[in-house]
Structure 1
Amino acid sequence: MQKKLITGIQHTSLQVVQDVLQNVQGIHHIEYKNKKYNIMYDSSVISPGQILEALEKAGLYVEKEILEASIGGMSCVMCSKAVTRSVMDLEGILDVNVNYATGKATVIITPSVVNIEEIKAKVEEAGYQFLGSNDNQPKPSNLRLMQIISGLVAGSILMAMMYVPVMYAHWLIAGVSVPVFVFISYHIFVHAYYALKNRVLSMDVMYAMGTGVSFAASVCATFGILPHEFFVYETAIFLATFLNVGKYLEDRAKSKTSGTIKKLLSLKPDTALVIREGNEIEIKTEDVAVGDSVIIKPQSRIPVDGVIIKGAGYIDESMVTGESMPVYKKEGDRVIGGTLNKNNLLVIQAKVLGSDSVLSRIISLVQQAQDSKPAMQRFADRVVGYFIPVILLIAVAASVVWYVGTGNAMFAFQVFVAVIVIACPCALGLATPTAVTVGLGRGAELGILIKNAEAIEQASNVTTVVFDKTGTLTTGNLSVVDIVTFHEDEDGLISLCASLERYANHPVGDAVVLHAKSKGILLVDAEEVKVFEGKGIMGIVTGRSIIAGSVAFIKEQGIDTKALEQDISKFEQQGKTVLVVADTKPL
């Protein structure tokens, strides 16, 4: 079929574009009109995405804009193909990628040629819901839960009524069944109608055939058109109910996956405290401008990427680096939006905002990975296009064979329905994209960022995992594992150290305090406490001048550490952090 692609290409000429595309199969004619290039092509040979790729490979700058939106009402991969086909009819569309598992569409358009309203109209024309931005992900609805409950209750009542001798029971059963069936399955038939209208054999078509044939046979039996054994209202209702159960569970899995992105987004606070014209004002994070001075309070997350211009303290960057130890940051050091300021008040200058920030790029990486398709999913997408018509042919053939062989119309009917119902879940088309999406989302939730879906597929071939540095594989919390004493008993040493370290607000000190509390060791007040950021702490505890800190800090105080060197060397080789406690000598 011949179609037209309208695109803008900067700093080039018609001759150059014609030269680039002259050997590309499927291109019929190119003309320059209204400052845009009109490319006539055969859609059965080449797609707009392939034309775009050819132009960009030649070094031409194609004007484009990327739009993202959530799509509702899809039941299988064929639905995503129907949405793609419908949107691609617009002349300014360069490429469309509809991910059934995430319910998200990514559309590349030519600016000023096509707009979001036209795309919305095309999606809705195809029978699906255009939900706007990705924040509007569909969730398991209360309506579907009501349909499930109604189906289970009505189906159970109908089965019981079959064994109760009531006059005009078949009319009573029909009266109960019809409104319930319409309520729990109308959406199946609506989606099937739009699928057929778009010339797509989706799973909804099979759902509609499985439930519709059972219901239609029951209605015919009610009016005496078919024998009484075709009176199977409860079958139709239970089939529709089980399909709703499957869809409800699938929607829950998708909702949890989209929640991963929301969890990453929640790492960045909604508001920021900035200094403007000498006043501290609280504004929305998206309103922060480059160059703004932002105040970061202790135990609060940093709203934007920036540079420290006042203060110093420890920053928990584990969300980015995976390292459990907070990093000491001082004036001039860069900080990342979404990371946690552990102890001191900081003032930073905003440097990077919006989509260019580290957290936004991480979120973008997760979304791109969810949109990517491994080889198995691409294979599944191709197979599912043939799967549904083949299943329909098998169902019809099996039914005819059994009818010819046995002459039992009821049994042949049951065979037809059974084949369609068994094939309905279509694990190949549904499970593959859903499994990939859930796997990528779960990885991101656990701090593992996977660049593309292909990596998950290849992971089954991994035999060895190599980690590049000591301390990467941790529980994320420091703890006291070894204690060496010289001039103090163990409990006394812990009491002195913890009594002082509780004023430090440092991860190493916190571990010592927690250890003391777990042992039930009494802590006392310290006086004249001085904290040396990144080095150590000193103060008066029970009348004694106590110092605690790194080996280098202890040496700076003129204390001889030769007696400790063998133990220090051993612990450091094991990847442990050494904390030295001393008065006039190491304790």
Structure 2
Amino acid sequence: MPTAHGAPTAAVDLDIQGMTCASCAARIEKRLNRLEGVSATVNYATERAHADLPPGVDADKLIAEIRRTGYDASIPHPEADDDARAAAAARGLRTRLLVAATLAIPVIALSMVPAWQFPAWQWVSLALALPVVTWAAWPFHRAAVVNLRHGSVTMDTLISLGVTVATLWSLYALLFTPAGMIGMTHGFEWFASSEPAVYLEVAAGVTMFLLAGRYAEVRATRRAGAALRTLMELGAKDAAVLRDGAEVRVPIASLRVGDEFIVRPGEKVATDGIVVSGDSGIDTALVTGESVPVDVSAGDDVVGATLNVGGRIVVRATRVGADTQLAQMTRLVEQAQSRKADVQRLADRVSAVFVPVVIAVALATLVTWLVFGGSVQAAFTAAVAVLIIACPCALGLATPTALMVGTGRGAQLGILITGPEVLESTRTVDTIALDKTGTVTSGRMTVTDVTPTPGTDADEVLRAAGAVEDASEHPLARAISSAARARFGTLPTVEAFTGTAGTGVAGVVDGRRVLVGRDALLRAWGIDAPAGGGPDRTTVLVAWDGEVRGTITLEDTVKATSAEAVSRLRALGLEPMLLTGDGEQVARRVAAQVGIDLVVAEVLPHDKVAAIRAQQEQGRTVAMVGDGVNDAAALAQADLGIAMGTGTDAAIAASDLTLVRGDLLAAVDALRLSRATLRTIKTNLFWAFAYNTAAIPLAALGLLNPMIAGAAMAFSSVFVVGNSLLLRRFRSTVPEELR
């Protein structure tokens, strides 16, 4: 994209190491954006930064700035390495958690049950707690120290400060107060207490709970990104390439455009290409979501990572590497997961200032309790509870985890969401404009009727016409020959075939010269024939032995799913509108078939834009579904652009949502999933804000024991992540028979 001065910028992604909370991400993002001309976003959940760079600034400069901030960064590694690193981090946290739980649970039990408090129990608790608050809690302490060295505080500062203060207070109490006397006992208090006590159970318990929460976060973010990793792993690892007549198996990375490779039954198609020879069925479910295999033969396109379930085929590679449909899908999902919605930016801003405010509130709590006559013990307990319960980890996870799960689930269903702002658009859409050809209809001519003349059989007309048309490559000819093959299987051989551009074809079938085409062709052969066709359909004449023997009618038929989809769109609160360049009669007929009332026909591409703008000027929020180059401008003009993945690159580039499946029911699922993801984000944010708003005053008033505060804080993050993972259960409502 250009800078403010018109100079082009480069984009770079970086993996960030060392982030432990949303405040870390906000701090790095702020430092990067201070660099002149740099526009950067940092995502805590994906641990990745995306930046647009002006000339003269490169990734090394960004990495150096991040290191000066107290963190580390690197150019992204292959996803397998990223996953291995994340798995190693999860294993490290798991080990610390297991050790912490083994040692902290006895400390908590002894502190809560006076009957179990044997002589010198408090000193045994100290011995058990020290490894927990030092080694197990080391990730929190290390992050706090690193940030303090750079003059900043984060949520880890709150955790480290709370655990450290609770431990130091306990040491003081054991050494200099009656709390250290052999035979001393005390019970667990839910509230702040004025009695001499140790808080080793608080320090150890908080560490255990927070390690559990962080371990759950790491596991959940790995699971949330599983769909993206699955996409990247779908492709074949090698291919059997034909070179100089010999079959050579090579890695996928070695494939080049133009290479011909063999795909045997049960193998994956190595890359996008066109079938050169052979017939087969291709299972496209992994890429498109379609449950029924698609028949392919010479001349048909195939997509990389789909499965050959039929015969042996030879494919010529047309797109390789980053240009393949699978790679583009993966890129769209990854970009969507790394970008931020407006609601997430708000959460980041809150997190960035929240920690200093909490520390100030904790100090104010301590001072207020002392000023108003509270004991040092109670004042200290309330202040520590404030520090611990206030960590806004949930704020930083609310949006990115929901977005990762939602976009990942969408990718599995063939729905590609380009960014979080798209989710915010789907909530307000009330009108949906539908292109006709290729969107509501199949975009291909299909035989709908065969009408014989008196004394002639309809099957005879279709068989003869199909045999002649089988030798032609014209779209109408292929439709007729396909219909004939579907009915009769094999067709007679045609001889003496001739074709006349724009009028039709002729050939000898079973010893008879058969003519198939327009009236002009028949009259040229001396046969009197009426004009064929009409404003909304095409009629082909069939003749032999000097007479018209019948007509074949072809139409661009409505897709089987379109009427159901329109009904479901209405149920979602959207008013459908048919927008097409075809004639009024054609448009009205199609609209009537699918249940659309508003029709705008005979429009050029710029007229489509004007039609959408007119709806917007009336206060409507408009979505547009299209698949062609002529739809690209309208898709860009619409508040929400939805492109059929079966369409052109121009349409897909101009859209906000891309549907890999080529039917409107996928658009229904896309809107439902987008709205569900947005609802999840808002639920997460409400929980995070409401939790902190309610919990901090309770802690400041001395109504929460610090250990209970730590457990509640950890639960808030786990709740947000768990709520996001519910999106993985999203299911298509499309009836099985319509898929």
TM-score bucket (shorter structure): 0.5 to 0.7
Query: Tell me, what secondary structure is at the counterpart of 2:355?
Result: helix
Matched residue, 1:450: 417
Give the deviation of 1:361 after TM superposition: 0.8
Matches within 5 A, 1:561-580: 575=560
Scaled by the length of structure 1, the TM-score of the pair is 0.66
1:96–1:107 Cα contact (<8 Å) kept: yes
Counterparts of 1:214 and 1:552 in 2: how far apart (Å)? 85
Amino acid corresponding to residue 49 of structure 2 in structure 1: A
120-129 vs 196-205, greater mean Cα deviation: 120-129
Cα shift readout 1:507-544 (whole Å, capped 9, x = no counterpart) = xxxxxxxxxxxxxxxxxxxxxxxxxx9789xxxxxxxx
Question: Structure 1 residues 356, 252: closer, same or farther in 2, change over 3 A?
Answer: same
Counterparts of 1:360 and 1:354 in 2: how far apart (Å)? 7
Counterparts of 2:558 and 2:34 in 1: how far apart (Å)? 65
Give the deviation of 1:342 after TM superposition: 2.6
Matched residue, 1:418: 385
Matches within 5 A, 1:302-381: 302-381=269-348
Choose from 48, 51, 75 the match for 1:104.
48
Question: Structure 1 residues 393, 89: closer, same or farther in 2, change over 3 A?
Answer: closer
Give the deviation of 1:258 after TM superposition: 2.1
Counterparts of 1:468 and 1:555 in 2: how far apart (Å)? 36
Question: Structure 1 residues 146, 292: closer, same or farther in 2, change over 3 A?
Answer: same
Counterparts of 1:379 and 1:282 in 2: how far apart (Å)? 52
Scaled by the length of structure 2, the TM-score of the pair is 0.53
Amino acid corresponding to residue 200 of structure 1 in structure 2: S
Give the deviation of 1:424 after TM superposition: 1.6
Matches within 5 A, 1:106-505: 106-109=50-53, 114=58, 116=60, 120=63, 122-130=65-73, 132-133=76-77, 135=79, 136-137=82-83, 138-139=86-87, 141-162=90-111, 163=114, 164=116, 168-224=120-176, 229-461=196-428
Query: Tell me, what secondary structure is at the counterpart of 1:101?
Result: coil
Question: Structure 1 residues 209, 103: closer, same or farther in 2, change over 3 A?
Answer: same
1:104–1:134 Cα contact (<8 Å) kept: no
Asked which structure has the greater RCO (Cα within 8 Å, sep 6+), the reply is 2
Counterparts of 1:378 and 1:121 in 2: how far apart (Å)? 25
Matched residue, 2:25: 80
CA-based RMSD: 3.6
Cα shift readout 1:119-163 (whole Å, capped 9, x = no counterpart) = 555545544354642521423522212222222222222244454
Amino acid corresponding to residue 152 of structure 1 in structure 2: A
Counterparts of 1:554 and 1:307 in 2: how far apart (Å)? 24
Matched residue, 1:34: none
Query: Tell me, what secondary structure is at the counterpart of 1:300?
Result: coil
Amino acid corresponding to residue 359 of structure 2 in structure 1: L
Question: Structure 1 residues 160, 322: closer, same or farther in 2, change over 3 A?
Answer: closer
Question: Structure 1 residues 297, 363: closer, same or farther in 2, change over 3 A?
Answer: same
Give the deviation of 1:254 after TM superposition: 0.8
Question: Structure 1 residues 426, 161: closer, same or farther in 2, change over 3 A?
Answer: closer
Query: Tell me, what secondary structure is at the counterpart of 1:141?
Result: helix
Matched residue, 1:54: 4
Amino acid corresponding to residue 47 of structure 2 in structure 1: G
Question: Structure 1 residues 238, 201: closer, same or farther in 2, change over 3 A?
Answer: same
Query: Tell me, what secondary structure is at the counterpart of 2:310?
Result: coil
Counterparts of 2:63 and 2:352 in 1: how far apart (Å)? 25
Structure 1 unmatched ranges of 5 or more? 1-48, 473-532, 537-548, 559-571, 577-587
Amino acid corresponding to residue 365 of structure 1 in structure 2: L
Amino acid corresponding to residue 54 of structure 1 in structure 2: A
Counterparts of 1:287 and 1:463 in 2: how far apart (Å)? 48
Give the deviation of 1:285 after TM superposition: 0.5
1:328–1:534 Cα contact (<8 Å) kept: no
Amino acid corresponding to residue 379 of structure 1 in structure 2: L
Counterparts of 1:223 and 1:446 in 2: how far apart (Å)? 63
Question: Structure 1 residues 318, 155: closer, same or farther in 2, change over 3 A?
Answer: closer
Counterparts of 1:574 and 1:440 in 2: how far apart (Å)? 27
Amino acid corresponding to residue 345 of structure 2 in structure 1: R
Counterparts of 1:259 and 1:129 in 2: how far apart (Å)? 24
1:82–1:195 Cα contact (<8 Å) kept: no
Counterparts of 1:458 and 1:111 in 2: how far apart (Å)? 33
Identity %: 31
Cα shift readout 1:386-443 (whole Å, capped 9, x = no counterpart) = 2222222222222322222232111111111222222124432332222222222222
Counterparts of 2:559 and 2:324 in 1: how far apart (Å)? 36
Give the deviation of 1:337 after TM superposition: 1.3
Counterparts of 2:426 and 2:146 in 1: how far apart (Å)? 39
Matched pairs, number: 435
Question: Structure 1 residues 159, 316: closer, same or farther in 2, change over 3 A?
Answer: closer
Question: Structure 1 residues 61, 141: closer, same or farther in 2, change over 3 A?
Answer: closer
Amino acid corresponding to residue 4 of structure 2 in structure 1: A
Choose from 15, 27, 42 the match for 1:70.
15
Counterparts of 1:334 and 1:356 in 2: how far apart (Å)? 15
Question: Structure 1 residues 267, 169: closer, same or farther in 2, change over 3 A?
Answer: closer
